[in-house]
Structure 1
């Protein structure tokens, strides 16, 4: 009991510490603790900043206050749960919190606070330091900037982007449309800088390689990352801005340096660099990450062999050897789910940010939309095959011909939480299906393949509505602002902005164009997939 009490008290202190950093203007002061002396030791000047930025994506940058709890607040108690991947087995906050849409400001402001306090200042400094002297590192900085900030705008909508550290412009926020358009400009700059450097200098190796914890240290691979990232972001615009989306998608796909395709490619924060996976800590040490009901329903229904790669079987005596998950939004106040299926992830597991399977599924959707002449079925099958191979599974044909569908969810403790399966598609491709069914197959498989990267999975689930997730049983959103069936669409801006920087808060709400609550859709979230 004392251990549980201590944990709750500690979490309360952590939430308070996050909630008390409200003023955006204070975020323009770099709090990372990096000194000028640090930057000149062993020629660290450029690499140390880029290392902090890379760790700050799948947030595990240690700034002296611990490395794992910020990630829990930033991602695990938000995107990882809202996308239908995971759930905590412990009754935090008495059982009512983000799970049932009783949104906790201390949790939801964590992305905003930590990125603007520790990561964006490093991006800003790295841009200024490399712009004229180090074109290759300037290009890498731009790519990292987009990777960090697209996750942030996909949480909140408007963000301070073009006017960060710009007091004369009063740190004016950008609408999400403006942010996305600027992302494409940033990627243009990155590709030009990197390709120009490669052509002119013909580098066989580079000094940045020892600081590269996402890729292989090769500049050409970073161009490939930029191209693949452009395709990801362009697809986000497919319903709201299809002409721009198609243009940017083709620019990425047709670039001479290519995109991620092979099972050995992709982007991950690599633990061989000394980085430790915070999700692994939450899973193995804190015992707070478990399989969701949606994962159980879909993976068990499909008899998907990735189930045993992603998750461990139950330790509960009653369900030993089985794979069982937890439904979101049930407000449980007990520990009866503690013996269910935890993740297979540990502290030394690389943290994936982009898989080649994701890119194949993007290409399948682009073909479905008529943007390319590629065969939609071939791309879809390549996505599944690549995902299987990355999981060490090489018997794929039976799955590609599988016509099984998701199963109903049966709760291990409370029958009132039982619910009929929502996902009705099977893995097998059917050329006769209409476009909407085809898209549902593509995104459902994409969702499985991207696990456990909840930020991208949540964004794509909101954009398309797929896979079809279970609604919360109890909806405790403020003033009913979140529709139970439509589900949560975004996170609110940090609550302390309203009391400590009202001018900034009002500017953000104006840029949002609607009420600052979890039910407001983002710019690219139209509720219509616009398939013609």
Structure 2
């Protein structure tokens, strides 16, 4: 069976390689095995790891608490914002493997994997800078070929334009290619190049809106994409969603809330937050029963005797809220399964794109042929209802005509509906809140901060192994705190 030759360790960024590299390389040589692996194998691995890890964090880690989707009733540090330095090794390991894949594909004259690899590279680097702010970029993956072991930190305002160009190049290269990817190597799109072009351009729209406050050409570039759907195709429906299903036959390919991946006790530590349950309940939203389980026993509740009860974040003894476990809701059973058709590892959805365009049109910054901010707003909600199988029910109950849902043209309403629709879909709920202030979350009585965190703290390993570049970065970025504003938030 082909394997990847071990030529270097994947170490915390900035750590120099040991002098024993050569000996280890020799030790790991196998005369009976190939010393190379095909690009499609590496591509599939990077894609799956990117999607699975991104989704796991959206459900399991800090982004879930910061977005007020999840309340931890045990080990509540995430909810209280007791966030210490956060490792970025996994992100850079994926980027390193992706870069190796692209170099191999280039050498083997398979440019389709180079182009798709650029989409994955832009996605992963964008996620890093969205989490931390300034970060190693231009020198980050140059250890093996150029022996750069202490990479500098690039400014976010330099990283983002470079990533936008990477995505534009990926679209253009995929459009010009006659070769396609092996369908089995692409568990997301089955090797269809046009689908990857749609993802590249939809990601550009996400990123352009995110930086629009400080990037003068943001809306002009968004308009360029919208005006030329042949050259710059974007998502057109839920069938274009960038997501990968969970096979659910072993732990590593199961939904992180499922029994193969984690014990039920871990699933039961994560309850729906009061913020999301109340937002759904007050609108009589049919997605409530899809996402949230009713309480076991509404009688005997101390505070709320409703059928669905979320738990406030960062409160004392959250496991005892409302009288305890029998009187608070769990997430629905599909989030405790190893695999479910509506629970996938999601990078970006058509629903999100609808709300991105609605926000830009509502602000008067772009136009979309045949659409208004109102129509895009409703389509964003409808596509989410459609995805979860409750579109007809929403129509039957006149969901869209009720106060709070009927379009009123306000950013607050639009972003709140986007936040609801993107329940556990990546870190976007957190990122939109810190960018717009909506929804207006309450940190909670035991929160260590008076506001939702704005970023992650740089890894401890950077102080230990890349101190000079780390300290230099702080001179331009500011204090390494959870509340320090990155460039596009200032």
TM class, shorter-length: 0.7 to 0.9
Q: What are the within-5 Å matches in structure 2 for residues 499-510 of structure 1? A: 499-510=464-475
Contact 2:272 2:310 in 1 (8 A): yes
Q: 1:103 aligns with which of 73, 76, 83?
A: 83
The 8 Å contact of residues 115 and 174 in structure 2, kept in 1 or not, is answered as: yes
8 Å CA contact 1:89–1:338 kept in 2: the answer is no
Matched, 1:244 2:217: yes
Distance change (3 Å), C-alpha of 1:140 and 1:504: same
**Which structure 2 residues correspond to residues 34-433 of structure 1 after superposition, within 5 A?**
45-60=38-53, 71=56, 76-90=60-74, 92=75, 95=76, 97-105=77-85, 108-109=86-87, 112-116=88-92, 118-131=93-106, 133-166=109-142, 167-168=147-148, 170-197=150-177, 201=178, 206-241=180-215, 243-253=216-226, 254-256=228-230, 258-272=233-247, 275-280=253-258, 281=261, 284=264, 286-287=266-267, 288-316=269-297, 318=299, 322-332=307-317, 334=319, 337-339=324-326, 340-344=328-332, 345=335, 346-348=337-339, 349-374=343-368, 375-395=372-392, 396-397=394-395, 398-403=398-403, 426-430=404-408, 433=409
Deviation at 1:284, TM superposition (A): 4.7
Query: Structure 2: which 5+ runs fail to align?
Result: 1-10
Q: Deviations over 1:235-273 (max 9, x none)?
A: 1012222x3211332243334152112233211122249
Distance of 2:486 and 2:417 partners within structure 1: 24
How far apart in 1 are the matches of 2:51 and 2:317? 29
Scaled by the length of structure 1, the TM-score of the pair is 0.76
Q: Equivalences for 1:506-517 in 2 at 5 Å? A: 506-511=471-476, 513-517=477-481
Structure 1 CA distance, aligned partners of 2:51 and 2:66?
Answer: 17
Task: Describe the SS at the equivalent of 2:15.
Answer: helix
- What is the RMSD computed on CA atoms of the aligned residues? 3.0
Residues 192-213 of structure 1: CA distance to partner in whole angstroms, max 9, x if unpaired? 210110xxx2x5xx44311212
Whole-Å separation in 2 of the counterparts to 1:389 and 1:119: 33
Residue 168 of structure 1, CA deviation: 4.7
The change in CA–CA distance for 1:27 and 1:368 in structure 2 (over 3 A counts) is farther
Residues 205-224 of structure 1: CA deviation (Å, up to 9, x unaligned): x4431121222320111001
Matched with 1:529 is: none
The worse-fitting range, judged by mean Cα deviation, of 382-391 and 345-354 is 345-354
Q: Cα–Cα, structure 1 residues 46 and 508, in superposed 2: closer, same or farther, change >3 Å?
A: same
Q: What is the SS of the residue equivalent to 1:271?
A: coil
**Does the CA-based 8 Å contact 1:237-1:244 persist in structure 2?**
no
Change beyond 3 A, Cα 1:282–1:152? farther
Structure 1: stretches of 5+ with no match in the other structure: 1-20, 62-67, 404-425, 477-481, 527-532
| C-alpha distance 230-134 of structure 1, shift in aligned 2 (>3 A) | same
User: Do residues 456 (structure 1) and 428 (structure 2) align?
Assistant: yes
The question of whether the paired residues in 2 share the 8 Å contact of 1:313 and 1:323 is answered with yes
